[in-house]
Amino acid sequence: MESVLDPKGEAAEDPRWRLVNRAIRLHGGAPDSLIETLHAVQEHFGYLDRDALKYVANTLQVPLSMVYGVATFYHYFTLKPSGEHTCVVCQGTACYIGGASNILKQINKNTGIDPGETTGDGKLSLLSARCLGSCSLAPVVVFDGQVAGRMTTEAVLEKIGSWLSDDHHT
Amino acid sequence: MTITLEELTDIARVEQDKQSEAKHSIKVCMAAGCMSSGSDLIKDALENEIKSRNWGDSCRVSRVGCLGLCAAGPLIKVDPENLYYKGVRPDDAGDILDALGGAPLDRLICPDKIPFFQRQQKVVLENSGVIDPERIEEYVARAGYRALYKALRSMTPKEVIDEVTASGLRGRGGAGFPAGLKWTAVSKGTDQHKFVVCNADEGDPGAFMDRSVLESDPHRVLEGMAIAAYAIGAQEGYIYVRAEYPLAIKRLKIAIRQAERMGVLGRNIFNTTFNFDIKVRLGAGAFVCGEETALISSIEGRRGTPRPRPPYPYEFGLWGHPTLINNVETLANIPPIIRNGGQWFAKIGTEKSKGTKVFALAGRVMNTGLIEVPMGTLIRDVIFDVGGGIPGGRKFKAIQTGGPSGGCIPEQFLDMPLDYESLAQLGSIMGSGGLIIMDETSCMVDVAKFFMEFCMSESCGKCVPCRVGTAHVYRILSNIAGGLGKMSDLETLTELCDLMKQTSLCGLGQTASNPVLSTLHYFEQEYIDHIQHRQCKAGVCHMAGIEEES
């Protein structure tokens, strides 16, 4: 989304915008499809930046303030780009009493970041989830979209450590 | 394209024949729990192995929904022997096929004569772990869409509602409002436009019943919605589902497409004048959207903030039209009620809580997973019989029901039945059905703090008692857990909780105090230990000024 304004219309060069436009068309460009549209943008770009919010506001003819209001109300939407890797620690009840808060604490000790933050080198984003519904596998951690159950602090730190020390990635 | 009863019967017969042709059938659990342990690889391995052995159609491998005992995943089931294998890995495929028809594989066998399997009674989950959720034919082969046919072709809308009323079914989303009453209220609206909304915004942490139903048997929910729509006179339906459940969303969308193609959704269903379409709307991670007016606001594309009721959604709902909002499990109960009659359903359960209830069993218990038992089953039986007791020889401490709106129930009430009234009497609620078992390693102050943190950050901020109250209660609980509490805090807590309960706008604020009040009531000594002795017996809380050990 680093591109300058405009290249988002129907004939956009970026295929991601064409997919977003398709989603908007599917819902008939109705103002009430705002949440669905933001989902489409986030699915293709990973986050919602100011440009995207403005474009959605104009296309759906919804005030920008309302788009911003919705984007910040729901936890699922993020206004910041995420790091190269993401680690989501579930904080549902079963995971919590299974020691998930200690996992977060130790990650913080090792990397200095809290949920919602990204390391300075942009390698790791740490997130926490309300409940992933995989309570029987508690505690659950999701590494780059892969769900891993019955996690220990050691296993999580090892996985994160391998990401952080990996210099070959660009 | 519509469909006739004869065609529906033909589809069922062809599918049944196909299934009975295979000598063996291996069902691989592909619900989210087992999937994340790699059950899709197991299915691939089994299929490849069968292909390389040239067995053709004599052994059928199929994808099924939740087999229930998630703790032992990845699970597979071998029929007709009725064997469960647990903790299966892809390289076990060869051994599993070798053992077919002979002695079972000892190293993987999961005993099926245990109370976990035997004490359950499946109504909502009758197809769960039996059918492939991505094939409508398998649902049809298990009497699927028969109830819809019966309702449309041989019953008036009023008769359908009467049947639901007679069943005594109550809302499974938490509050337990009688479904028949709700349906009657919406049906009385004279508006031409009405809506049916399925609430699949399962936000309670520790609850995964709705996810499992949607992942294992999505057509049942669609059929329930269509019957409801016919009964109240709606033509459009929405399913509001959490974005955090990608697999459930995928299977729902597949199911809707298949149902439309088969003609059980769409125009002139079963050659009647009844039309019904269903759309999926994604939530975006807001617990408050489980509240019906907030949910409506979210479907309309706005911030999910509740509004005062009345007017209730049954008269003023989606875009101002009369709207019926039912939970996934409530709707999933409808097809069997119409098929077998309300009286049949009313025979299950207790006097005031009819039918069965699906519970998600998690926390410190052996058999974590998905269970369905008749209403009124004793708490003790659920934990120690079906659940297999507490692991590691530790001692049971409390059972948490109802998530952030519920309470913690201590040992002395283990012999209470699980039904709406008994749980309310104990200061908790049925909620959507998440049961979290806690042992002596859990600290009750910490648990109360955990839930209050949840409610504080999920409060939408519209009304003051909830927005300010949750933050204030959380601060006091943090102080107590950190060894900085005062005895007078306990009084303040009770007062604040009472205030939130009486004056909050919606259910979130009104029930947010339940975890605090119930732990204060049953585990007051733990609070006092934290305040007076700066001691957390469970070893969870770290007191200010005391060095952490690890």
- What is the Cα–Cα distance from B151 to A3, expressed in whole angstroms? 56
pLDDT, tens digit (0-9, with 9 covering 90-100), for B388-445: 999 999 999 999 999 999 999 999 999 999 999 999 999 999 988 999 999 999 999 9
Where residue B419 sits, what CATH number does that domain have? Answer: 3.10.20.600
Report the residue from B206, B284, B454 with minimal CB separation from A76: B284
Give the distance from residue B54's alpha carbon to the nearest chain A alpha carbon, in angstroms. Answer: 34
Report the residue from B70, B282, B360 with minimal CB separation from A39: B282
Q: Same structural domain for residues B149 and B288? A: yes
Domain count, chain B: 4
Q: What is the ipTM metric for this complex?
A: 0.91
**Closest by Cα among B400, B433, B435, B402 to B508:** B402
Residues in chain B with CB shorter than 8 Å from the CB of A133 are: 32, 202, 207-208, 211, 244-245
- What is the Cα–Cα distance from B205 to B195, expressed in whole angstroms? 28
pLDDT of residue A167: 63
User: What region, left, alpha or beta, does residue B228 occupy, with left being phi > 0 and alpha being psi -120 to 50 degrees?
Assistant: alpha
Low-confidence stretches of chain B (pLDDT beneath 70): 1, 546-550
Residues in chain A with CB shorter than 8 Å from the CB of B299 are: 32
Q: Same structural domain for residues B400 and B503? A: no
Kindly report the average pLDDT of chain B as a whole number. 95
Yes or no: say if B507 and B514 are a contact pair by the CB < 8 Å rule: no
Give the distance from residue A66's alpha carbon to the nearest chain B alpha carbon, in angstroms. Answer: 8
CATH superfamily of A85-164: Glutaredoxin (3.40.30.10)
Residues in chain B with CB shorter than 8 Å from the CB of A136 are: 33, 70-71, 73, 361-362, 368-369
Q: Do A31 and B301 touch (CB under 8 A)?
A: yes
Q: Same structural domain for residues B45 and B176? A: no
10 Å CB burial of residue B29 (0-12, 13-18, 19+) is buried
Where residue B156 sits, what CATH number does that domain have? Answer: 3.40.50.11540
Q: Same structural domain for residues B184 and B309? A: yes
Q: Same structural domain for residues B316 and B191? A: yes
Q: Which two tokens stand for residue B542?
A: 């770290």
Q: Which of B346, B371, B393 is the last residue of a domain?
A: B346
Residue B337 lies in domain: 144-346
Q: Same structural domain for residues B61 and B184? A: no
Yes or no: say if B67 and B27 are a contact pair by the CB < 8 Å rule: yes
| B239 belongs to a structural domain | yes
Give the distance from residue B284's alpha carbon to the nearest chain A alpha carbon, in angstroms. Answer: 5
| B430 belongs to a structural domain | yes
Residues of A with CB under 8 A from a CB of B: 30-36, 38-39, 62, 66, 69-70, 73-77, 91-94, 96-98, 129-138, 140, 146-149
pLDDT of residue A3: 42
pLDDT, tens digit (0-9, with 9 covering 90-100), for B118-176: 999 999 999 999 999 999 999 999 999 999 999 999 999 999 999 999 999 999 988 89
Residues in chain A with CB shorter than 8 Å from the CB of B363 are: 93-94, 97-98, 135, 138
Report the residue from A35, A94, A137 with minimal CB separation from B363: A94
Q: Which two tokens stand for residue A39?
A: 């989902």
Yes or no: say if B63 and B45 are a contact pair by the CB < 8 Å rule: no
Q: Same structural domain for residues B373 and B449? A: no
Give the distance from residue B12's alpha carbon to the nearest chain A alpha carbon, in angstroms. Answer: 33
Question: A132 to chain B: nearest residue by CA?
Answer: B244
Where residue B101 sits, what CATH number does that domain have? Answer: 3.40.30.10
Q: Do A129 and B70 touch (CB under 8 A)?
A: no
Low-confidence stretches of chain A (pLDDT beneath 50): 1-5, 169-170
Q: Same structural domain for residues B106 and B32? A: yes
Q: Same structural domain for residues B183 and B263? A: yes
- What is the Cα–Cα distance from A37 to B187, expressed in whole angstroms? 33
Q: Which of B308, B328, B346 is the last residue of a domain?
A: B346
Q: What's the predicted TM-score (pTM) here?
A: 0.94
Q: Same structural domain for residues B78 and B190? A: no
Question: A139 to chain B: nearest residue by CA?
Answer: B363
**Strands A146-148, A141-143: pairing kind:** antiparallel
pLDDT, tens digit (0-9, with 9 covering 90-100), for A35-82: 999 999 999 999 999 999 999 999 999 999 999 999 999 999 999 998
Q: Same structural domain for residues B74 and B202? A: no
- What is the Cα–Cα distance from B340 to B378, expressed in whole angstroms? 26
Q: Same structural domain for residues B159 and B217? A: yes
Please, what is the Cα angle at B99 between B97 and B100, to 5 degrees? 70
